[in-house]
Structure 1
């Protein structure tokens, strides 16, 4: 009899007061408004590591939500992901306070240059001992584009084309610029690095031109673990080439299973094993020792939830200003340059016709996706059913009232999952990729590994011709 499938667990957070479940920062026990304090992040990391979580996944957005009612005012009033601080800067402190937990950081390819970002992520990988992952996003709000001097963001599919080339450059910098043994630190001979084992990356593409040596020596993973959250048609193609972990937001196992199947089918078309990609679904939870206790918590939390914050967030995610619709007017599919998978979720991928009233009715804790509420045993059953019925590999658990939501899960649910063989009892050794996949660096047939191996073949051929 085969062993039950063990799940990946990530604490899902953001460097702001309002992340997924809007308005809950106003709860008297919630500490998320302290996100500017290092103590907040150290406590989060220590609790998550005590629960053997795989990673703390830190979301991010460039720009502010200003589609709803044509203004940023609803977002500012409700704290819907604004103000928001940089996700990378809190990682070293959390890493110093822990030993094993990983860190997934979100950075957009639309507002960075690969040469600069490659150094920042390599630096984080060095400082954390190889515990960094990069959540690759392309952005979806026009306010970010205006912030960097553009009239509007680049169209949806072209953003992914640019991101493909961005990754090409990043792989070359991380994987090919330095040999593993290039860094000598030889005090006797006074040689720090061997110049013969360091080479410039030369890339001439449609969007980027690079002729430079990577500024960092090889980090423990070289390339950080690659996360990606787009499940639109173009996003799935991107994931098949690059992603090692993909995040989805399906409302039910049945609805999510078709998305998972398409992601795995795309991976096969890209020459990869379908299970080389770990699929992780977002699940908001309210857990108690009994169902009654959980329901009492829900009622308590719900009094602080913000419908306006949820609508401000969802309007910008979809690029649709829901304030312009009558309450019972059907919401049509319109392809735009926002988050296409969010639009598809309430139109082409939905069995029901969505209206603003239905969206409002679905907002329980300041998010369009209702939480699962139950005893610790019921929550464990729920997560197991998702793994088995939706073919997912694990979960991103967004905060409700923090830190008690994470503490409740760690203290009440994790022991049950461990007892059932569904979750690990100790951390595996090594970097984050080693813990998740059994190897510390990109391995064939991943596209980045193929680029690396092709560069090595070319380098060897050039050396032989010189000789």
Structure 2
């Protein structure tokens, strides 16, 4: 039997006081998220992750407050639910400067950004990080964000994906096709930086965008940043099969994860891509200590600082269901703005969820459908190993319950156990983000990638 392959591990973060892991746990005495507006908070996290050889520090992001619960943003502000939301792109360059190999993932929406400025921003980040940058592609889901950009209501799901597809075409043209590989000469003697005939406009004219170009940045180490995507809907899976190199999965059932990945891999292969070109990270939360008794004590302490209302604010923003208007016996109704997929019980019975069902599901830290492991380091490592074997996931995205406590516990207690099993890398990786994930060590998109089709035949 061959030796096990090390899994990928990343740290999930948000540039906010209330992180999506459990938005009210900033109230825990040991949590330091009230200092999230300082560079010291982020530099400490990045240094721990870098020294522990984590693969990535990932930033989720939102462009509006969670204002569905109660019909306003009062509860979101009270509990700091994914708020206040600073711009992670302003934090990453500083963290890149103080780390050696840690890669960074940043969430940017295709719905409210413009592809020309977006392409320049990520090319700059790719240069400044020496190729350690990935882009998490989202289409946004908050109605408050739509209003912040002058829209009366959120663009429909299908239309957001149509806009995203054209957005991708434009940035591929800029990143992959605007500058020839040999355009930059950088010759002081000849007094030539770049050959004008090797840099050309993209002249894109589409339904949503008109972009002339050329791209303002010279080719960066990866040209196109590593592409991350989290859509799990049917349309989201199609998008992932076409574009994504790393999928972010917020599910716990390993069989469900395997089924979804197999579907995405099959669609990717139908496009001429290899299965290995699409890897994945599953959200993971842990509570661990040297003994089971101590781990349970830690969990109970977390529970004492966990507040249901804060979680329901998050749930309302994610789904559109404002449970402040429901009695426990009320079934979730599609008369609201809520997503139909959240109305039915997950047991396959076909019965609608009631508000009481949801409140019960989210009443504790071990809530919802996310993967949370409580136990000794050996127990946690055992469950990670078993879950990865069944699910086929490439690795895990550690979602902190307290910061930096969850990360410190993972690094000090769980990582040594994973290393014993060959499931965690012992040596730092060099090179670009993409080169570390690819079997061929290439920094650029492979020829089979959709984005590579925009390379000009110079």
TM score, norm. by length of structure 1: 0.92
Per the alignment, do residues 346 and 135 of structure 1 end up closer, same or farther by CA in structure 2, a change over 3 Å counting?
farther
Q: Does 1:160 align with 2:161?
A: yes
8 A Cα contact 2:202 2:211, kept in partner? yes
Give the equivalent residue in structure 1 for 2:47.
46
Give the drift of 1:334.
Answer: 8.4
Instruction: Look up the match of 1:464.
Output: none
Q: 1:259 to 1:346 in 2, by over 3 A?
A: farther
Q: What secondary structure, in the 3-state scheme, does the structure 2 residue paired with 1:110 have?
A: coil
Match of 1:228 in 2: 229
- State the SS of the aligned residue for 1:124: helix
CA distance in 2, matches of 1:8, 1:321: 36
Check the 8 A contact 1:22/1:365 in 2, yes or no: no
Q: Which moved more, 1:245-254 or 1:206-215?
A: 245-254
Q: Alpha-carbon deviation of 1:213?
A: 0.8
- The CA distance in 2 between the partners of 1:395 and 1:130, in whole Å, is 22
Contact 1:310/1:366 (<8 A) preserved:
no
The two structures, once aligned, show a CA RMSD in angstroms of 1.9
Task: Determine if the alignment matches structure 1 residue 415 to structure 2 residue 416.
Answer: yes
Residue 385 (structure 1) aligned with residue 386 (structure 2): yes
Q: Name the residue aligned to 2:374.
A: 373
**How far apart, CA to CA, are the structure 2 residues paired with 1:335 and 1:181?**
56
SS of 2:10's partner is strand
Cα 1:58/1:217, change in 2 over 3 Å:
same
C-alpha contact (below 8 Å) 1:256/1:390 kept by paired residues: yes
Q: Aligned runs of 1:119-268 on 2, under 5 Å?
A: 119-268=120-269
Tell me the SS of whatever aligns to 1:158: helix
- Residue in structure 2 matching 1:446, options 439, 443, 449: 449
Q: CA offsets, 1:68-115, max 9 Å, x none? A: 121111111111012110011110111111110100000001110000
Tell me, in whole angstroms, the C-alpha distance in 2 between the residues paired with 1:393 and 1:445. 21
* Mean CA deviation greater in 45-54 or 358-367: 358-367
CA contact (8 A) 1:23 1:304 kept: yes
User: Does the CA contact (< 8 Å) of 2:321 and 2:332 recur in 1?
Assistant: no
In structure 2, the residue matched to 1:351 is: 348
Partner in structure 1 of residue 361 of structure 2: 362
Contact 1:333–1:347 at 8 Å: present in 2 too?
Answer: no
**After the TM superposition, which of the residue ranges 111-120 and 63-72 deviates more from structure 2?**
63-72
Contact 1:50/1:410 (<8 A) preserved: no
The answer (yes or no) to whether the contact 1:309–1:366 under 8 Å persists in 2 is no
Q: CA offsets, 1:113-168, max 9 Å, x none?
A: 00000000111111111000000000001111111111011100110111011011
Contact residue 109 and residue 163 of structure 1 kept, 8 A: yes
Q: 1:81-100 counterparts in 2 under 5 A?
A: 81-100=82-101
**Distance in 2, Cα, partners of 1:448 & 1:427:** 29
2-structure distance, mates of 1:418, 1:366: 26
Aligned 8 A contact 1:52 1:101 in 2: yes
- 1:218-259 Cα deviation digits (max 9, x unpaired): 111100000001111111111111100111111322333322
Match of residue 394 from structure 1: 395
- Could you say which residue in structure 2 is the equivalent of 1:17? 17
CA distance in 1, matches of 2:182, 2:268: 33
Structure 1 residues 309 and 368: alpha-carbon distance in aligned structure 2, compared to 1, 3 A threshold: farther
Structure-2 change in CA distance of 1:171 and 1:277 (3 Å): same
Q: What's the secondary structure of 1:449's corresponding residue?
A: helix
- 2-side partners of 1:324 and 1:257: how far apart? 37
Contact 2:320 2:336 in 1 (8 A): no
Structure 1 residues 355, 66: closer, same or farther in 2, change over 3 A?
same
> How far apart are the structure 2 equivalents of 1:99 and 1:241?
31
Shift of 1:62: 1.1
Q: What do the CA deviations read for 1:411-456 (whole angstroms, capped 9, x no partner)?
A: 111111111111211133210101111221100211101222xx32
Taking the aligned partners of 1:217 and 1:228, their CA distance within structure 2 comes to 26
Cα distance between partner residues in 2 of 1:330 and 1:255: 26
Q: Distance in 1 between matches of 2:394 and 2:58?
A: 15
Aligned residue pairs, count: 451
**Cα distance between partner residues in 1 of 2:36 and 2:383:** 30
Q: Separation in 1 of the partners of 2:327 and 2:123?
A: 49
Q: Which is further off, 421-430 or 248-257?
A: 248-257
- How far apart are residue 392 of structure 1 and its match? 0.9
**Residue number in structure 1 paired with 2:2:** 2
Q: Which residue is equivalent to 1:102?
A: 103
Q: How does 1:292-303 map to 2 (within 5 A)?
A: 292-303=293-304
Contact 2:66-2:73 within 8 A present in 1 as well: yes
